[in-house]
Structure 1
């Protein structure tokens, strides 16, 4: 008979890690990061941070953006459409004025043109930054305002604005479209909606 102890030589994959859904950022945390990036003149980081919030894209789709995905003739669009890698389906997102300004400054500083990665690698301009580099940058931003990077992730930025939209409107279908989910159940699970959330929305509706 084989001892079961011999099968326990490998440490669990999640040992020392925080698992479960990564929480979204709060409004005051968003502005704390923005102000720090602005004061430090981190033009690329500010554009990346703002666009991550507006686009609500997965990390792989965000870093894969090309200049012409968000800009036309050097002018940043107010809306954009990209094809999601995970689902193979298009998703649209808004680009707010402050994000357009930040991305426009980044395009001008880096002198980026149509067809080039929007956030190129520092090693090879022809290739986009990696999701690992993006995650590392996020960790630096979070640490700078006193948050534990291990408690958050790139999905925190994807979840931030969508969570705010849901809590203000209660429109689950709208959030599903914005996130590019194929099933409403995925959106429910992603937002972490529970009975208390549903009751809170119901209490705001009088008939």
Structure 2
């Protein structure tokens, strides 16, 4: 009697997201931003302090943040008060203000020997890498949130992108302003980015319930 062909039995692998928190990453609260800044200042970690501050101010995606060039933020030897960066996803520019504290931290970072002669704002440490990678940036973000006791799986690079706009939306309820700040082409993208805070916008058909 011929034995029927049976599918091979594969060893069960653990799910890729086992033990991880998946989905929308949380924005940082003001107290978290303050705590991370204090730790970086005390450690005199000039690169990470400038990177953290600019990530919050710019609200850029990680892929655009790591590719920022010195010319994006500096002109005539001074750090600009406003900057414009072309987004790789939409191929459209997004403008943002650079706060006084961020300008000071970026200026301090620009004094570091690693930045001398570099076209990019966050140069890589190896000759074959012109700037830090998005994966390296993600590791840096995990270090930041872990240093103040937060659950690292609940936060990510998009936490940096969401932090400032979340506070702006809480204060103003102005979705259009948030859309412009994030550089979104569609309002639905902005609603998804803000998550539960905008559930009332969907229910009301595009008008915020107060």
The two structures have a TM-score, normalised by structure 1, of: 0.88
**Unpaired stretches in structure 1, ≥5 consecutive residues:** none
Greater shift, 10-19 or 39-48, is seen at 10-19
1:195 aligned partner: 200
2:160 aligned partner: 157
**C-alpha distance 18-5 of structure 1, shift in aligned 2 (>3 A):** farther
Indicate the structure with greater helix content.
1
CA-atom RMSD in angstroms: 2.5
Q: In 2, Cα distance between the equivalents of 1:67 and 1:105?
A: 13
Tell me which stretches of 4 or more aligned residues in structure 1 moved more than 6 Å: 1-5, 196-199
**Unpaired stretches in structure 2, ≥5 consecutive residues:** none
Deviation at 1:111, TM superposition (A): 6.7
Deviation at 1:134, TM superposition (A): 1.0
Deviation at 1:10, TM superposition (A): 4.4
**C-alpha distance 3-31 of structure 1, shift in aligned 2 (>3 A):** farther
2:59 aligned partner: 56
Greater shift, 38-47 or 14-23, is seen at 14-23
SS of match in other structure, 1:81 = strand
Aligned length: 202
Deviation at 1:108, TM superposition (A): 1.7
**C-alpha distance 126-18 of structure 1, shift in aligned 2 (>3 A):** closer
**C-alpha distance 100-2 of structure 1, shift in aligned 2 (>3 A):** farther
Deviation at 1:181, TM superposition (A): 0.5
